[in-house]
Structure 1
Amino acid sequence: MTLTAELSLYPLNADYIPVIQSLIDDLNSRDGLKIVTNAMSTQIQGEHGSVMSAVSDTLRASAAKFGSSQVLVCKFIPMDLDIA
């Protein structure tokens, strides 16, 4: 099943850009996913398991690298959307 997820990361510190950019870079390094980033969020599309693993693994890596003072908001849509 194809899954589309929309992610918004909110680091709870003043130097937030490196935290967000690191998460986006980690997501973009994964094979088999379509990733689109804009000013408000990052959309991920792929097989259900691949998308869920990407979200879980990148959040875990971000917390290990930058600490747990961050909030990740996710919306999941169980279908193939036309993300450009």
Structure 2
Amino acid sequence: MQLTVEISSYPLADDYLTPIKGFIEQLNQYPSIMVLTNTLSTQMFGEYDEVMQALQDCIKWSFEKYGKVIFVCKFLHGDLRP
């Protein structure tokens, strides 16, 4: 099953760009997942289990590395790549 996820990240830190960029770099380590980033959010496209595992790993990594970060995610069944 294909999955599309839209993610917005809000680090609770003065230097908020570093955690956002780090999170996106971690997502891009998964070659089977398509990651598109724009100024408002990041979209992920791929097989459900692979996308969810990448999200779980990268969110955990972000919390461990940067502390408090808010993630807002939208999930949609299917592949909605532009």
TM-score range, shorter chain: over 0.9
Whole-angstrom distance in 1 between the partners of 2:79 and 2:59: 23
Whole-angstrom distance in 1 between the partners of 2:60 and 2:12: 16
Could you list the per-position Cα deviations for residues 10-56 of structure 1 after superposition, in whole angstroms to 9, with x for gaps in the alignment? 00111100000000000011110111000000000000001101111
Give the aligned partner of residue 30 of structure 2: 30
Q: Name segments (4+ residues, structure 1) moved above 2 Å.
A: none
Aligned length: 82
Unaligned runs of at least 5 residues, structure 2: none
Alignment of 1:8-19 (within 5 A): 8-19=8-19
Give the aligned partner of residue 76 of structure 1: 75
Q: TM-score, normalised by structure 2?
A: 0.96
Whole-angstrom distance in 2 between the partners of 1:65 and 1:20: 12
What is the aligned-residue identity percentage? 41
Q: For residue 72 of structure 2, what is the amino acid of its counterpart?
A: V
Unaligned runs of at least 5 residues, structure 1: none
SS in 2 for 1:18: helix
Native 8 Å contact 2:45 2:81 kept in 1: no
Give the aligned partner of residue 43 of structure 1: 43
